[in-house]
Structure 1
Amino acid sequence: MTSRQIRLALRAYGVGGPGQHNLWKDPRVPKNASIDIDWYIAQAKAAEHALFDALFIVDSQFIDATYPPHYLNRLEPLTLLSAVATHTRHIGLVGTLSSTYNSPFNVARRFASLDHISHGRAGWNVVTSFDTGTSRNYGLDEHLDYATRYGRALEHVQVVRGLWDSYEDDAFPAAGDVFLDPSKLHALNHAGEHFRVDGPLNLSRSPQGQPVIFQAGVSEEGRNLAAHVAEGIYAPGGTLEATREYYADIKRRAAALGRDPDHVVIFLGAQPVVAGTDEEALRLSREIFEADNDFGRKLGQFGRAFGAHDFSQYDLDAPFPDVAHLAEKSGRTRGTEIIRRATSEGLTLRETVLAFTRYQPSPFTGAPDTVAATIAAWFEAGAFDGLNVGFRTHEDLSRFVADVVPLLQKQGLFRTGYEHDTLRGHLGLPIPANRWSVAS
């Protein structure tokens, strides 16, 4: 057995996330999958049976009619995961919540509750909210700029962690006439740039001490936030070279801050396509792409990086329009890259959309032995610590579990049984010391 093993997380998109606008038409997909708790429980149980580390639930709080079907009608993450927790025993439960549009006390209480309900399997995916339209759902005229959002996110996480330490581990003797030792209860009394929070939180620590902090972001601000607070990271997919660069950069930043890089577990986003032969898998991959290869839909979604801007108002064969200012408070990293390429290559709007939505098969496409070998090669090349995998149908997940996972286990690259009961245990992360216990 190798000392370093691959982690696996499952992200569930119901009736179809980005690039899957027509998935709901597949007869194997329940038309209400995104709001059917039984569907999520089945996904979680299948992943747990395969010894996955975590179930990951993405979220956003703004839509218009162009958004993917799953985005249009889906359950709130922590409500969903609380239900899943009562039907599973081992798999981690990671939910997305925005630091921009939630208060620290509310976030701390909700995730601590999930952590207790699941007996130590909760994780918080910290996002600053990508969609600028979210602001108008919270009574604000405009979305916060990047610097403010990420400054707020860092302080938000620090406050939440402080609240999670409100009780020392032995605060409740519950003996004789003493239920609480009041010397073990601590108010936070935080006063910072973005938040004033007294505390304490009315909930004790769970078996894993604190929920695991996850983060996803590729901007400079996102990478810095990850280096400061993330224990798990959901990284975008890409070429082997690009993923290795991202992996090394995050680990280097964490080490520079005095953190153990091994305590920052990086999950690479992946959508494996597995079939009987490499040729069959490539054919299936192409069919999946063509099922959603609709230019009008692509044009509608293209505006998301620019604050849900409507690009249908422009001449498709004219130069890419000047919309740089719209990316500043929205998807700046992607928006900037779109503008850079369109400008440097002199692309029209039509050519730009096609260039950024062209067919690009997953590197993890092929027969089971091909997919397993590629996963192993990328892992050993330092591209990731784990994969955050997504599948179009339950059958696709089942095939990966039945045909690919055993090959990774045979190589000693994936567990053959759960050795821990908490998410921290699965990921090899330490239980955070309570700041008050350390201080005393």
Structure 2
Amino acid sequence: MTKQIKLAAHFPGVNNTTVWSDPASGSQIDFASFEHFARTAERGKFDFLFLAEGLRLREHAGKILDSDVVGRPNTTTVLAALAGVTTHLGLAGTLSSTFNEPYEVARQVASIDHLSGGRAAWNVVTSPDAWTGQNFRRGGFLKREDRYARAEEFLATVRELWDSWQPGTLVGDKENGVFARDPGKFVHSGPQFDIHGEFTLPRTPQGQPIVIQAGDSDEGREFAAKAADVIFSRHGTLEDGQTFFHDVKRRLATYGREHGELLIMPAATFVLGDTDAEAEEHAREIRLQQVRPATAIQFLEQVWSRDLSGYDVDGPLPEVDPDPDAEPLTWGRVRHEKDQLALARKWRALAEEKKLSIRELVIEVTARQQFVGSPATVAETIDEHVRSDAADGFVLVPHLTPTGLDEFVEKVVPHLQERGVFRTGYAGPTLREQLFRVR
């Protein structure tokens, strides 16, 4: 059978992907934006909508980044509201295992699953810094190994809570109208959590909501192979995607899981045009809008840990090396490459080879338009990635809110459907059926 493509839509939120200057750019916090985005994704028969979590606004050099000042609404509140204006679309939200508790997350996600008729998903993440922790009573910082130890037990505890209500008969005085299913008690005692009591909700329509994991480290990959239904990765190119795909899938057997029990869905952006050449030109214009001069300098300062504001963004990279011993200038953004000196050498070589200025280099190394071309070209490329086992599907991140997904749904989805690799209707009422039921 032809391998079917999974598609999700990431509401862009606050980040340097969104083009704020475009007249079509709308609100990041008005419910109308979330509703438009969700309705578009459902019209396109997408598997789920995906929201990030922002527990603190990003800062740079002691000031709030201007791309973050629009605010970050609470994820579960938005998803609960979207449950009322959609009927099939999955509703996925990021909730940190570092600064939440298992009981509250289990209750929040189970509530959304009940409200939506079985369409909830939880993206399990760890929060890496004390800077975010300052917003919480406990504050503090957990080392990487401690974060994943907490996350693993956190997820296991949440699953115990979801499973604590077993199918059973009604108890109580049914004749007089006083009855309820027998709630299950839970007891969990472990290194991270020691809790007991009764969970407030019966089993959800899905049995258990879908679990997504977004870690890229070795610990994150192992965690996903052991416990996740979907892994959200950053490996969007064909070669990198295949390497990541095969590395994660090979780990499944260790936990008694089959190849198809974990779906790999990298983040991906797209730019469309009537022709491939028109799309390429449009993509260049978008990158210039995304990487403004101030943005380019700020990005470089993340790696250099130095004030580089005196450098010409259209000039060469600084001759001075990064300061690996200095405090980071940017808080709230994950830097995946930890060796600053090695990264600076790599970028200098690239800039020299291609004759790139600071701004041009930043555009080069942060290129996000994985799929650029006519609708037919983009559909073919996505299909190629999935057929070649570089991914099971993609989480699309448009550069405009909330209308950025419209063009993809109107122009690319029909091509995928004509190729027989994407659904024309939903498989069933729950997200689990959409993702794992063969149609």
The bucket for the TM-score relative to the shorter chain is 0.7 to 0.9
In the alignment, which residue of structure 1 is the partner of 2:234?
236
What aligned pairs does 1:21-60 form with structure 2 within 5 A after superposition? 23-30=19-26, 33-60=27-54
In the alignment, which residue of structure 2 is the partner of 1:358?
364
In 2: Cα distance, 1:210 partner to 1:126 partner: 14
What whole-Å deviation, never above 9, does each CA across 1:294-345 have from its counterpart, x for those lacking one? 2432333456689xx6654898430122248869x98776132554332567
**Is 2:391 the partner of 1:384?**
yes
Give the % identical residues: 34
In 1: Cα distance, 2:283 partner to 2:125 partner: 30
In the alignment, which residue of structure 2 is the partner of 1:266?
264
**Is 2:418 the partner of 1:410?**
yes
In 2: Cα distance, 1:239 partner to 1:83 partner: 35
Instruction: Give the structure-2-normalised TM-score.
Output: 0.87
Deviation at 1:46, TM superposition (A): 1.0
What whole-Å deviation, never above 9, does each CA across 1:103-123 have from its counterpart, x for those lacking one? 000100111111111110000
In the alignment, which residue of structure 1 is the partner of 2:56?
62
What whole-Å deviation, never above 9, does each CA across 1:347-394 have from its counterpart, x for those lacking one? 799988864542636231001111111111111000111110011235
In 2: Cα distance, 1:109 partner to 1:397 partner: 31
Q: Does the residue aligned with 2:150 lie in a helix, a strand or coil?
A: helix
**Bigger CA drift: 152-161 or 185-194?**
185-194
Aligned length: 419
In 2: Cα distance, 1:255 partner to 1:302 partner: 41
Q: Does the residue aligned with 2:197 lie in a helix, a strand or coil?
A: coil
**Bigger CA drift: 277-286 or 388-397?**
388-397
In 2: Cα distance, 1:398 partner to 1:331 partner: 28
Deviation at 1:402, TM superposition (A): 1.4
Q: Match of 1:243, as an amino acid?
A: G
Deviation at 1:17, TM superposition (A): 2.1
**Bigger CA drift: 70-79 or 270-279?**
70-79
What aligned pairs does 1:99-248 form with structure 2 within 5 A after superposition? 99-140=97-138, 142-172=140-170, 175-176=174-175, 179-180=179-180, 182=182, 185-248=183-246
Larger RCO (CA under 8 A, 6+ residues apart): 2
Q: Indicate conservation of the 8 Å contact 1:215/1:226, yes or no.
A: yes
Structure 2 gap ranges (5+): 312-317
Q: Match of 1:179, as an amino acid?
A: F
Q: Does the residue aligned with 2:364 lie in a helix, a strand or coil?
A: coil
In 1: Cα distance, 2:303 partner to 2:137 partner: 22
Q: Does the residue aligned with 2:391 lie in a helix, a strand or coil?
A: coil
Q: Indicate conservation of the 8 Å contact 1:57/1:95, yes or no.
A: yes
Q: 1:141 to 1:86 in 2, by over 3 A?
A: closer
In 2: Cα distance, 1:283 partner to 1:52 partner: 28
In 1: Cα distance, 2:319 partner to 2:350 partner: 5
In 2: Cα distance, 1:132 partner to 1:304 partner: 17
Q: 1:19 to 1:304 in 2, by over 3 A?
A: farther
Q: 1:330 to 1:83 in 2, by over 3 A?
A: closer
**Bigger CA drift: 222-231 or 90-99?**
222-231
In 2: Cα distance, 1:8 partner to 1:151 partner: 30
In 2: Cα distance, 1:85 partner to 1:243 partner: 32
In 2: Cα distance, 1:99 partner to 1:338 partner: 28
Structure 1 gap ranges (5+): 431-440
Q: Does the residue aligned with 2:134 lie in a helix, a strand or coil?
A: helix
Q: 1:339 to 1:103 in 2, by over 3 A?
A: farther
In the alignment, which residue of structure 2 is the partner of 1:436?
none
Deviation at 1:141, TM superposition (A): 5.4
User: What is the alpha-carbon root mean square deviation over aligned residues?
Assistant: 3.0
Q: Does the residue aligned with 1:236 lie in a helix, a strand or coil?
A: coil
Q: 1:98 to 1:85 in 2, by over 3 A?
A: same
What whole-Å deviation, never above 9, does each CA across 1:252-283 have from its counterpart, x for those lacking one? 11222211221101111111111100010000
Deviation at 1:129, TM superposition (A): 1.6
